[in-house]
């Protein structure tokens, strides 16, 4: 029987780069096939060609033995190819059910569809209310919508791009069960990821891309994680170095019974959040997004001020301070959404440095000092190894990892007293993620207080000194990492109270 999908030396060139160079790949029926590679290795372009969003310059695509030209995503859907994008393709202003309806053919019956969604969601443990408007959903919830939307199309090939980065370990295991069941039912799965452990647990074949070329095939069940990493990056990234923990005696940032109703009617209210963050330490906030992360970040950054005494900096009440006043005091934020919030997409990197860096002597008497602005951006680009065409490059022309390096670099260059980072390495390649984690650790060891809000438990366990779990707007007491296990935190993320009972 012909394989489900066969790619024969597909190539795609853009003006300046060869994104894919003669990539060949075979996905058998019912196979879970991994595509491994760093950001910029050409995974996204390859996937877009299979999904019809981009046309190859060269090569052939064989679908079940038949040569096909996939003109657009609708054609891909008709063949039975469904895609869960890493960057979601969803409509903000309409409910979940409508977002799913647009991808389906047949009679438009929202009630019936909502019932199907709820049933499917329950079956796979992907909790989503079909009637909520999309703009109210967190990133994690949006991904669930994407996955549900694909599953409702009864695909014969399901493509997932970094699907687990926003799931709890337990939910990841459930998703794997789903994927294994789908594979057993004959659906082929193309699994794009850089999480080597997951690939080894889930996939039966792997194709490794580097620089747009296939650099190797591996059997993930037998290859070690180190082998795969070496294939992928050419060399394995160094482990994060953590100097001993030199925590300041007095807390730098304090949250005292922070209670706040969300400005979003479907958001999560924060309930009596208490936390002490000391200089010299990294504290991690674990939790599935949608449990108050967005609200907590806004309360910390000043985008939604609170009662003055609920947030204290060095004992001074700053709860009522707006963003600008808090930034002057050294409270910086690296937001979850890089493009559009952390950086203005159409502006150059120089201007994006100025965005929050203007306090670093880049403005005098209301006028911009262009030479200094360029120097500031150039300094970040060099110190943080941002791959770009220069300070004039528009922010949107950078890959996710490089833009994140620029944003983190900008905030670190401003030498904050308190840095709040949301999802620091979401969708960032292995080497860049290791680099960013090291920088966050270095910042804390230099005396700053760092708060990392992440859904990636391995990351939190790698870099944090203490970890707390945010669930349904409540935060349990942060505990030293050594006293916690990934399993226990994972259960607490899912709402289990018994594991991490609030302790003093």
Residue closer to another protein (CB basis): 355 or 488: 355
Residue 371 interacts with another protein (CB under 8 A): yes or no: no
Q: Three-state SS for 36?
A: strand
Q: How many residues does the chain have?
A: 504
Is residue 314 at the binding interface for another protein, with CB under 8 A as the rule?
no
Q: Which is nearer to another protein, 73 or 379 (CB)?
A: 73
Residue whose CB is less far from another protein, 26 or 344: 344
What is the nearest approach in angstroms of another protein to the Cβ of residue 267?
16
Is 56 a binder of another protein (CB under 8 A)? no
In this chain, which stretch among 58-66, 153-161, 213-221, 316-324 interacts with another protein, using CB under 8 A? Answer: 316-324
Helix orientation angle between 400-413 and 430-445, rounded to the nearest 10 degrees = 10
Each residue 223-262 as x (binds another protein by CB under 8 A) or -, in order, gives: ----------------------------------------
Q: Crossing angle for the helix pair 400-413 and 370-383, nearest 10 degrees?
A: 120
Residue from the set 234, 239, 340, 390 that interacts with another protein by CB under 8 A: 340
Residue 89 in contact with another protein, rule: CB under 8 A: no
Q: How far is the CB of 34 from another protein (least distance, A)?
A: 28
Per CB under 8 A, 44 contacts another protein = no
CA-nearest of 86, 161, 140 to 286 is 140
Looking up tokens 């993930």 gives 220
Window contacting another protein (CB under 8 A); options: 86-94, 102-110, 311-319, 352-360: 352-360
Closer Cβ to another protein, 3 or 73, answer by number: 73
- Work out the number of other CB atoms within 10 angstroms of the CB of residue 241: 9
Tell me the closest approach of the beta carbon of residue 367 to another protein, in angstroms: 5
What sign does the dihedral 266-269-275-277 (CA atoms) show?
positive
Is there binding between residue 483 and another protein (CB under 8 A)?
A: no
**Does the protein bind another protein through residue 311 (CB under 8 A)?**
no
Beta bridge partners of 83: 159
Q: Hey, which residues between 111 and 130 contact another protein (CB under 8 A)?
A: none
The single residue among 155, 220, 305, 335 that binds another protein, judged by CB under 8 A, is 335
Sign of dihedral through CA atoms 19, 24, 28, 33? negative
Within 10 Å of residue 178's Cβ, how many Cβ atoms?
18
By C-beta, is 88 or 131 nearer to another protein? 88
Number of amino acids touching another protein (CB under 8 A): 30
How many whole angstroms separate alpha carbon 147 and alpha carbon 128? 11
Phi, psi at residue 246, to the nearest 5°? Answer: -115, 75
CB of 366 to another protein, least distance (A): 6
Q: Does 358 bind another protein (CB under 8 A)?
A: yes
The region of 24-32, 207-215, 306-314, 345-353 touching another protein under the rule CB under 8 A is: 345-353
The H-or-E segment that residue 197 falls in is helix 196-202
**DSSP strands (E only) in 363-417:** 363-364, 367-368
Stretches 243-251, 277-285, 327-335, 427-435: which one binds another protein (CB under 8 A)?
Answer: 327-335
Rounded CA separation 485/489 (Å): 6
**Per CB under 8 A, 102 contacts another protein:** no
Nearer to another protein by Cβ, of 344 and 415: the residue is 344
Q: Is 360 in the site for another protein (CB under 8 A)?
A: no
Q: Identify the residue among 60, 205, 307, 355 touching another protein (CB under 8 A).
A: 355
Q: Is 330 in the site for another protein (CB under 8 A)?
A: no
Q: Which stretch binds another protein (CB under 8 A): 1-9, 253-261, 265-273, 337-345?
A: 337-345
Q: Sign of torsion, CA 428 434 437 442?
A: negative
Burial class (CB in 10 A: 0-12, 13-18, 19+), 379: middle
Element (H, E) at 370: helix 370-383
Residue 351 contacts another protein per CB under 8 A: yes
Nearest to 449 by CA among 407, 414, 417: 417
Please, what is the Cα angle at 167 between 432 and 337, to 5 degrees?
50
- As measured in angstroms, the least distance from the Cβ of 333 to another protein is 7
For the beta carbon of residue 143, count every other beta carbon within 10 angstroms. Answer: 26
DSSP label of 121: H
Name the nearest CA neighbour of 479 among 286, 315, 304, 311: 286
Q: Looking at residues 288 to 307 of the shown chain, list those that interact with another protein (rule: CB under 8 A).
A: 301-303
User: Nearer Cβ to another protein, position 120 or 394?
Assistant: 394
What is the rounded CA–CA span in Å between residue 331 and residue 398?
Answer: 26
Structure tokens at 74: 């609708």
- What is the pairing mode between strands 188-193 and 32-36? parallel
Q: Which is nearer to another protein, 325 or 446 (CB)?
A: 325
User: Which residues are bridge partners to 474 per DSSP?
Assistant: 471
Q: Which of 112, 246, 324, 472 binds another protein (CB under 8 A)?
A: 324
Q: Which of 322, 383, 446, 472 binds another protein (CB under 8 A)?
A: 322
Let me know: does 400 contact 427? Beta carbons within 8 Å.
Answer: yes
* Minimum gap (Å) between residue 331 Cβ and another protein: 10
Q: Strand pairing partners for 213?
A: 210
> Among residues 65 and 340, whose Cβ is nearest to another protein?
340
Q: Which of 356, 374, 444, 476 contacts another protein by CB under 8 A? A: 356
Tokens 């890959």 locate to 399
Binding site for another protein (CB under 8 A): 301-303, 322-327, 333, 335, 337, 340-347, 351, 354-356, 358, 363, 366-368, 370
């Amino acid at each position: 029987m012909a394989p489900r999908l066969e790619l024969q030396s597909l190539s795609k060139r853009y003006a300046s780069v060869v994104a894919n160079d003669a990539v060949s790949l075979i996905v058998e029926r019912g196979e879970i096939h991994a595509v491994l590679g760093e950001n910029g290795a050409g995974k996204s372009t390859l996937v877009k060609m299979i999904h019809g969003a981009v046309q190859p310059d060269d090569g052939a695509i064989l679908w079940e033995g038949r040569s096909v030209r996939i003109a657009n995503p609708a054609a891909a859907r008709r063949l039975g190819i469904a895609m869960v994008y890493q960057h979601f393709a969803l409509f903000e202003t309409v409910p979940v059910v409508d977002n799913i309806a647009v991808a389906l053919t047949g009679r438009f019956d929202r009630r019936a569809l909502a019932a199907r969604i709820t049933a499917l969601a329950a079956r796979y443990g992907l909790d989503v209310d079909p009637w909520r408007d999309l703009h109210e959903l967190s990133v994690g919830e949006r991904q669930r919508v994407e996955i549900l939307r694909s599953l409702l199309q009864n695909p014969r090939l399901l493509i997932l791009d970094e699907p687990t980065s926003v799931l709890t370990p337990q939910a990841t295991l459930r998703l794997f069960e789903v994927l294994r069941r789908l594979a057993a039912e004959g659906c082929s799965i193309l699994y794009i990821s850089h999480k080597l452990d997951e690939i080894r647990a889930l996939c039966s074949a792997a194709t490794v891309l580097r620089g747009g070329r296939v650099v190797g095939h591996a059997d993930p069940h037998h290859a070690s994680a180190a082998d795969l990493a070496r294939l992928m990056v050419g060399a394995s990234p160094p482990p994060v170095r953590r100097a001993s923990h030199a925590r300041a005696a007095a807390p730098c940032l304090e949250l005292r019974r922070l209670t706040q109703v969300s400005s979003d009617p479907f958001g999560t209210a924060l309930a009596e959040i208490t936390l002490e963050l000391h200089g010299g330490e990294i504290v991690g906030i674990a939790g599935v997004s949608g449990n108050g992360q967005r609200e907590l970040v806004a309360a910390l950054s000043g985008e939604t001020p609170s009662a003055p005494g609920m947030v204290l900096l060095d004992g001074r009440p700053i709860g009522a301070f707006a963003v600008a006043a808090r930034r002057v005091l050294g409270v910086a934020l690296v937001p979850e959404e890089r493009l559009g919030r952390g950086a203005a997409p159409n502006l150059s990197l120089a201007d994006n440095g100025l965005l929050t860096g203007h306090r670093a002597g880049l403005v005098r008497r209301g006028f911009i000092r262009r030479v200094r602005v360029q120097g500031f951006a150039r300094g970040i680009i060099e110190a943080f190894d941002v791959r770009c065409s220069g300070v004039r490059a528009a922010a949107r022309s950078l890959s996710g990892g490089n833009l994140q390096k620029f944003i983190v670099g900008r905030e670190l260059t401003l030498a904050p007293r308190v840095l709040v980072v949301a999802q620091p390495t979401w969708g960032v390649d292995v080497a860049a993620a290791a680099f960013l984690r090291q920088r966050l650790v270095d910042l804390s060891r230099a005396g700053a207080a760092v708060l990392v809000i992440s859904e990636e438990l391995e990351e939190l366990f790698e870099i944090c000194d203490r970890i707390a779990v945010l669930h349904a707007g409540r935060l349990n007491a942060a505990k030293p990492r050594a006293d916690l296990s990934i399993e226990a935190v994972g259960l607490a993320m899912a709402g289990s109270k018994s594991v991490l009972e609030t302790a003093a």
